Amino acid sequence: MKIRFAFLLLIVGLVATVSSCTRRPLANLNPCTINGVVQSVPVNPQRAVDLLIVIDDSPSMDDEQAKLQAQVPRLVDLLVTGAVGDDAVEEFPPVESLHVGIITPDMGYSSVPPASPPPVVGLNFDPVGCTANGESGFMQTQGLAGEPGECSAQTLPEGTRYLNYPGDANQTELISDVTCLTQQTDGCGFEQQLESILASDRNTANSGFSREDALLAVIMITDEDDCSTTDPLVFDTEARPPQDNPIQGPLTSTMGNPPEALQFNLRCFEHKDKLVDLQRYIDGIANLKGDPSQVVFAAIAGIPEEQDLDCAAANTAADRYACILNEEQTPAMKEVPNPDEDDEQTQQLTPACDAGTAGVAFPARRIVETMQGLANSGTGVGTVVESICADDYAPALNAIVDRIAAALRQLCLPRPLNRNAQNLVGCEVREVQPEGGTCATAGRGREEVAVTTEDGREVCRVTQLPSDPSAGVPQGLGWFYDDFTPETAGACSFNPEQQRVSFTVGAEPLTGARVRFECLQTAPPQDVDIGWPCTSDALCDPNPDNCLEGEAVTTAACEADPTNCCETRILEERYDRDNLELVCVTETNTCQLTCESNVQCPGGFACFDENEDGTSYCVNPTCTLN
């Protein structure tokens, strides 16, 4: 049975530690519910994406323009059509509302903020293509197309600086505008890619671009590393004596006619102490949205091509970034001045990759380090980095689209849940109906009688289907606990373990609805103990590493030699009680202590026969037992 995932945007994720008891009607929560997951999820009525493209417009990007002209518009086309074709992009619902903002990494060479938009492209630029304040995050409305042509965007809403695609508009016009605005190579050679992202967000001229209910995707395309700084002397374009520019090294120059030894290309490399700490951008990018899991940050930048990377063993995004940054595993990412160049003014770093006639790119270490910091932050920001030297950007853009699609589909859970004997988890999913909706609609996997109403809207309980990884996606209509499909592994890759709520085909939440997911379950212990997940008594046996030499470990061995039982010793030391035994309770698939009276149970627990079948377990009597 084919599975479709509801197009959900996660706005609240809370892992709560509950010290008191709950009275929610959720079964099999003995001995006490102490951990929970509560998520409130609006179903995106527009399937909206805000796409911010950071295009390096410096002269060094001239060779990459042909690939950009072909592939960046294709990215937009994929998003608005959902057409996967033969491109190995996972299926996803097409975006119905798209904002596109295009900025450059040109922040000028001054720390003085601008009061108005920068000059028209190509005008009033100094010899190195820079103005004092640069573009400063202003979204572009003009570009270059053809030789020497100039073009202007046609799909800008009145009074705005971003492109708008409402879903029923002309896709051709949108793609034409994106093509126009990405064709620029007469910009500033001092790139501050990371700072330009934050500048764009705080620039009031871009108001309206970022929407609360939309996924934000930031895509950076550059052949040089980030040089974000707050010290204007780093970008001093004048040759002057050292006493006028106290920053030594390549920033200084000897006065002569003409000036010598400016070495603009090595300034950021030589003066890393003048660059902004990357934590600013790790935090800043994560905070671009109230829910960081609705941010995707991608870069096509200076790293070796995939066939030149030795990172196949990396299992996570963070591992891959660590591999790319490791100079022993990836020596091309080591920053060293190119020994083949001896001109002091034009010397560059040794390239990280070389695309021949399509140009070279230099190690994007700060950009990859920012990706690594985001991947390790646990915030849920999606990250992708690919090589700008590739002959074809299609695989890189496919990876980016896949990550965007995964963020749009996801309802990921922070930790694994334990299935009971019926392959159900101790959770409940409710759907708050959109205006005019009703639970009585047949064939959607909802109980037909509303459990309550909120603001006049019916709240329906969604049917939970048994979830057995060995059987695959369950048959029927409803939701299921999904920790086994490839789609979940991709969508929730930012978690150490991947699991989420999934809906079967035909049971997807309605547009405009809100889904509430509550999961209440005993937190699993760190080792075999009360609440340890199990499917048989053998899984409740102690870890042999915790047993003394010669001690009986298995149940059968302990029955044969009860005075030398490892489990008995461990439980006695832990709970100060004799002859305790852990068994697997099939109703909950957890290990529990058997008992015949309260005296046998640890302090604070009571011996209780919940199922009235003659078998009692030690439970916490202060908590609801159902």
- Kindly state whether residues 254 and 345 are assigned to the same domain: no
Mean pLDDT of the chain: 78
For 398-429, what is each residue's pLDDT tens digit? 777 777 766 665 577 777 888 887 898 878 89
Structural element, H or E, at residue 429: strand 427-432
For 345-360, what is each residue's pLDDT tens digit? 677 899 999 988 778 9
Q: What is the pLDDT of residue 14?
A: 26
Q: What is the pLDDT of residue 416?
A: 84
Task: Taking residues 512-537, report their average pLDDT.
Answer: 77
In angstroms, the Cα distances linking 167 to 154, 175, 324, 417 are: 16, 13, 39, 38
Q: What is the pLDDT of residue 101?
A: 94
Nearest to 362 by CA among 354, 377, 352: 352
- Using pLDDT thresholds of 50, 70 and 90, give the confidence band for residue 30: very low
Q: What is the pLDDT of residue 259?
A: 42
Domain containing 470: what range? 1-53+417-523
Residues 73, 177: contact at Cβ < 8 Å? no
User: From CA 16, how far away is CA 501, in angstroms rounded?
Assistant: 18
Q: What is the pLDDT of residue 523?
A: 59
Over 80: is that where the pLDDT of 534 sits?
A: yes
Is 287 among the domain residues? no
Nearest to 386 by CA among 286, 296, 304, 489: 304
Is 421 among the domain residues? yes
For 285-337, what is each residue's pLDDT tens digit? 999 998 787 889 999 999 999 899 999 888 888 999 999 999 999 999 999 98
- Kindly state whether residues 13 and 90 are assigned to the same domain: no
Out of 22-36, 76-90, 177-191, 516-530, least confident range: 22-36
Final residue belonging to a domain, choices 523, 551, 568: 523
- Kindly state whether residues 339 and 264 are assigned to the same domain: no
Residues 582, 531: contact at Cβ < 8 Å? no
Angle at Cα 561 formed by Cα 557 and Cα 562, nearest 5°?
A: 105
User: From CA 245, how far away is CA 318, in angstroms rounded?
Assistant: 40
- Kindly state whether residues 337 and 264 are assigned to the same domain: no
Residues 544, 551: contact at Cβ < 8 Å? no
Over 90: is that where the pLDDT of 29 sits?
A: no
Q: What is the pLDDT of residue 271?
A: 84
Q: What is the pLDDT of residue 38?
A: 60
Tell me how many domains the chain contains.
Answer: 5
Q: What is the pLDDT of residue 409?
A: 56
- Kindly state whether residues 67 and 127 are assigned to the same domain: yes
Residues 53, 101: contact at Cβ < 8 Å? yes
What percentage of the chain's residues is helix, strand, coil (to nearest 5)?
Answer: 25, 20, 55
User: From CA 407, how far away is CA 298, in angstroms rounded?
Assistant: 13
Is 456 among the domain residues? yes
Burial profile 500-514: b = 16 or more Cβ within 10 angstroms, e = fewer: bbbbbeebbbbebbb
Strands (E), 284-405: 295-301, 353-354, 360-361, 382-387
* Sheet strands side by side (includes 295-301): 163-165, 97-103, 48-55, 215-221, 295-301, 382-387
Is 391 among the domain residues? no
Is 116 among the domain residues? yes
Nearest to 179 by CA among 25, 76, 321, 329: 76
Q: Which amino acid is at 250?
A: P
Task: Taking residues 239-248, report their average pLDDT.
Answer: 49
- Kindly state whether residues 69 and 178 are assigned to the same domain: yes
- Kindly state whether residues 543 and 519 are assigned to the same domain: no
Beta 382-387 vs 97-103: how paired, if at all? unpaired
For 446-497, what is each residue's pLDDT tens digit? 999 999 998 888 999 999 999 999 999 999 999 999 999 987 886 676 667 8
Q: What is the pLDDT of residue 525?
A: 75
Is 217 among the domain residues? no
Q: What is the pLDDT of residue 462?
A: 94
- Kindly state whether residues 166 and 254 are assigned to the same domain: no
Which residues neighbour 379 within 8 Å (Cβ) at sequence distance 6 or greater? 286, 292, 293, 494
Residue in the block written with tokens 């705080």? 202
Nearest to 196 by CA among 75, 98, 53: 53
DSSP state of 97: E
Task: Taking residues 94-101, report their average pLDDT.
Answer: 86
Over 50: is that where the pLDDT of 190 sits?
A: yes
Could you give the count of Cα atoms lying within 13 Å of 209 in the half-sphere of its Cβ?
A: 30
- Using pLDDT thresholds of 50, 70 and 90, give the confidence band for residue 512: low
Final residue belonging to a domain, choices 523, 556, 585: 523
User: From CA 344, how far away is CA 347, in angstroms rounded?
Assistant: 6
Residue in the block written with tokens 């309550």? 452
Q: What is the pLDDT of residue 238?
A: 55
- Kindly state whether residues 166 and 123 are assigned to the same domain: yes
User: From CA 164, how far away is CA 340, in angstroms rounded?
Assistant: 47
Final residue belonging to a domain, choices 162, 177, 212: 212
For 313, the token pair is 């063993």
Is 404 among the domain residues? no
Give burial (CB, 10 Å; 0-12/13-18/19+) of 612. exposed
- Kindly state whether residues 107 and 182 are assigned to the same domain: yes
Q: What is the pLDDT of residue 246?
A: 52
- Kindly state whether residues 321 and 345 are assigned to the same domain: yes
For 212-240, what is each residue's pLDDT tens digit? 878 899 999 999 999 998 887 777 655 44
Q: What is the pLDDT of residue 4?
A: 34
- Kindly state whether residues 264 and 313 are assigned to the same domain: no
Q: What is the pLDDT of residue 279?
A: 98
For 125-179, what is each residue's pLDDT tens digit? 243 567 777 888 999 888 765 554 577 887 788 888 999 988 777 788 888 888 8
Is 312 among the domain residues? yes
Over 80: is that where the pLDDT of 604 sits?
A: no
Q: What is the pLDDT of residue 181?
A: 84
For 349-388, what is each residue's pLDDT tens digit? 999 999 887 789 999 999 999 999 999 998 878 899 999 9
For 39-52, what is each residue's pLDDT tens digit? 555 555 447 889 99
